């Protein structure tokens, strides 16, 4: 649970998780808080860790490296997500042998402009990658060990959810969604998300991941635009040459030729980077396959699991 100045909500979230998932071990990662977040988290029974580098992405990167568990739960410490949905999400992970379950937010607690921005970013990712896991920016997720230990986690701040989503889509990791409640922050709690600044960062991450994960799409589009411009510039020059046998607009012809060369180089760059991407994905897949699936960790007995995981889930070595 990444936290920065969440003293008003942290104890409630910890208590709700403990009540909802028996045997859970809650890790709260304090991220440079200046209030009583640490004290409140400890009083509620959480294990408190610290990440000095500011940013949610840095916290997730550190937690994924530090914590050794079979099932991981990632949730914000602001008490906006329904912690009571955790059992259903874990049960979904176990029942379908998945590596990720995303909590899709349902509610009217979005700040002004956030819902519109969220929808716009989801549409962009859908157009590029074909899907968004229902809610690309959801901070409420359940993971298997092999997802967490094969996830590179390079984002620094609120872009981490985008990176998680694109990583899942690019490697076709078995995932599913569960609707979860989404409510307003408690009184005295303040959002750390800055609409325009963080929205721009998320958009920049989407473009960067597009360049890395869809290089032919990215470079091919730029190449096509440059080739179109080159053609528009060259046609009048070629027509005049056919009619008069002269090329009086030599600078235009040079610019057009230059654009054609750049267009061809960009397309070739896309092909080369796509080959590197394929090799990188194969390496990531092999790293992912070295770890057992959730079903390989928990041998499920239908008679032992008649209802929900909340009552019957075995206690793993460590859970978060």
Q: Which residue has the tokens 């607009």?
A: 249
Q: Supply the pLDDT for residue 315.
A: 43
The mean pLDDT of the chain is: 85
Given a cut of 60, whether residue 319 has pLDDT beyond it is no
Mean pLDDT of 197-208: 76
**What was the pLDDT predicted at 196?**
66
User: pLDDT for 78-129, tens place per residue?
Assistant: 999 999 999 999 999 999 999 999 999 887 655 555 667 777 777 878 887 7
- pLDDT on residue 188: 64
297 pLDDT above the threshold of 60:
yes
| Burial (Cβ within 10 Å: 0-12, 13-18, ≥19) of residue 18 | middle
pLDDT at position 137 is 85
Nearest to 220 by CA among 262, 278, 263, 284: 263
Q: Residue 256: pLDDT above 60?
A: yes
pLDDT at 170 over 80: yes
Contact 7, 40 (CB under 8 A): yes
Please give the model's pTM, rounded to 2 decimal places: 0.77
Contacts of 36 (CB under 8 A, 6+ apart): 7
pLDDT confidence of residue 293: 86
pLDDT of residue 189: 62
Higher confidence at residue 318 or residue 61? 61
Which helix or strand (DSSP H or E) is residue 15 part of?
Answer: helix 10-20
Q: What is the pLDDT of residue 70?
A: 92
The model's pLDDT over 207-220, given as tens digits with 9 standing for 90+, comes to 887 888 889 999 99
Give the pLDDT of residue 115: 66
131: which 2 tokens?
A: 């899907």
pLDDT for position 155? 83
- Spatial neighbors of 156 by CB under 8 A, at least 6 apart, are 53, 55, 57, 58
**What tens digit of pLDDT does each residue of 38-90 get?**
999 999 999 999 999 999 999 999 999 999 999 999 999 999 999 999 999 99
Burial of 12: CB neighbours in 10 Å, binned 0-12, 13-18, 19+: middle
Residue 153 in this model has a pLDDT that exceeds 70: yes
Q: What is the pLDDT of residue 285?
A: 87
The domain limits of the chain are: 2-212, 215-286
Tens digit of pLDDT for each residue in 25-38?
999 999 999 999 99
* Among 116, 95, 111, 299, residue whose Cα is nearest residue 178: 95
CATH 3.90.550.10 is the classification of domain 2-212: yes
Residue 192: predicted pLDDT:
60
Q: Is the pLDDT of residue 162 over 70?
A: yes
Angle, helix 114-129 to helix 160-171, in steps of 10 degrees: 20
Beta carbons of 277 and 213 less than 8 angstroms apart: yes
* Lowest mean per-residue pLDDT among 11-20, 145-154, 186-195: 186-195
């Amino acid at each position: 649970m990444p936290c920065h100045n969440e003293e008003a909500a942290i104890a409630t979230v910890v208590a709700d998780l403990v009540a909802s998932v028996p045997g859970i071990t809650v890790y709260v990662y304090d991220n440079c808080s200046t209030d009583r977040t640490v004290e409140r988290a400890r009083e509620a029974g959480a294990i408190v860790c610290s990440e000095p580098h500011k940013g949610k992405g840095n916290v997730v990167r550190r937690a994924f490296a530090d914590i050794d568990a079979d099932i991981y739960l990632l949730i914000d410490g602001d008490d906006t997500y329904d912690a009571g949905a955790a059992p259903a999400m874990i049960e979904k992970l176990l029942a379908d042998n998945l590596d990720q379950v995303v909590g899709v937010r349902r509610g009217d607690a979005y700040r002004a402009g956030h819902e519109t921005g969220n929808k716009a970013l989801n549409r962009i990712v859908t157009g590029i990658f074909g899907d968004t896991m229902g809610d690309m920016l959801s901070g409420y997720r359940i993971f298997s060990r092999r997802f967490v230990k094969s996830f590179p986690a390079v984002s620094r701040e609120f872009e981490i959810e985008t990176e998680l989503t694109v990583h899942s889509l690019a490697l076709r990791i078995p995932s599913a969604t569960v609707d979860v409640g989404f409510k307003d922050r408690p009184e005295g709690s303040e959002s750390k998300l800055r609409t325009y600044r963080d929205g721009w960062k998320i958009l920049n991450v989407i473009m960067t991941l597009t360049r890395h994960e869809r290089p032919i799409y990215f470079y091919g589009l730029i190449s096509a635009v440059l080739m179109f411009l080159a053609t528009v510039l060259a046609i009048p020059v070629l027509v005049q040459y056919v009619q008069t046998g002269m090329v009086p607009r030599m600078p235009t012809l040079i610019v057009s030729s230059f654009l054609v060369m750049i267009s061809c180089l960009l397309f070739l760059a896309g092909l080369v980077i796509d080959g590197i991407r394929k090799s990188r994905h194969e390496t990531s897949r092999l790293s992912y396959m070295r770890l057992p699936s959730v079903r390989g960790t928990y041998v499920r007995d239908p008679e032992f699991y008649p209802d929900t995981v909340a009552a019957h889930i075995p206690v793993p070595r460590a859970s978060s």
